[in-house]
Amino acid sequence: MSIASPSLDPNLLTQSHAYCEQLTRSAARNFYYGLKLLPRSKRLAMFALYAYMRHVDDIADDEDNRSVDQRLSELESWRLQTHAALGGNVNHDSHALWPAFAETVRAYRIPAYIFDDVIAGQEQDLRPIEFATFEQLREYCYRVAGTVGLASIHIWGFEGGKSTEELAIDRGVAFQLTNILRDLSEDSQRGRIYLPRTELAAMNVSPAMLHETSGSESFCQMMQAQVERAESYYALSSDLESRIERDSRASLIAMTRIYHGILKKIAADPPRVLRERISLSVFSKLRIGWHAVRGT
Backbone angles phi, psi at 244, to 5 degrees: -95, 145
Output the pLDDT for position 170: 97
DSSP 103-118: HHHHHHT--THHHHHH
Backbone angles phi, psi at 267, to 5 degrees: -60, -35
d(CA 142, CA 148): 9
Query: In DSSP terms, which residues pair with 193 in a beta bridge?
Result: 130
DSSP 237-254: TTTHHHHB-HHHHHHHHH
Output the pLDDT for position 181: 96
Q: Torsion angle, CA of 70/76/79/83, rounded to 10 degrees? A: -130
CATH topology classification for 128-296: Farnesyl Diphosphate Synthase (1.10.600)
Check for a shared fold between 9-123 and 128-296: yes
d(CA 154, CA 100): 16
Residue type, 161: G
Output the pLDDT for position 286: 58
Output the pLDDT for position 155: 97
pLDDT means over runs of 10, the chain (296 residues): 59 92 83 81 94 90 79 93 89 82 95 95 86 95 95 96 97 96 90 92 90 85 97 98 94 90 95 85 59 54
d(CA 38, CA 294): 14
Give the predicted TM-score (pTM) of the model: 0.88
Q: Helix (H, G, I), strand (E, B), or coil: what is residue 158? A: strand
Output the pLDDT for position 234: 98
CATH 1.10.600.10 for domain 9-123, yes or no, is yes
Output the pLDDT for position 2: 44
Domain boundaries, the chain: 9-123, 128-296
Q: Do 254 and 34 form a contact (C-beta atoms < 8 A)?
A: yes
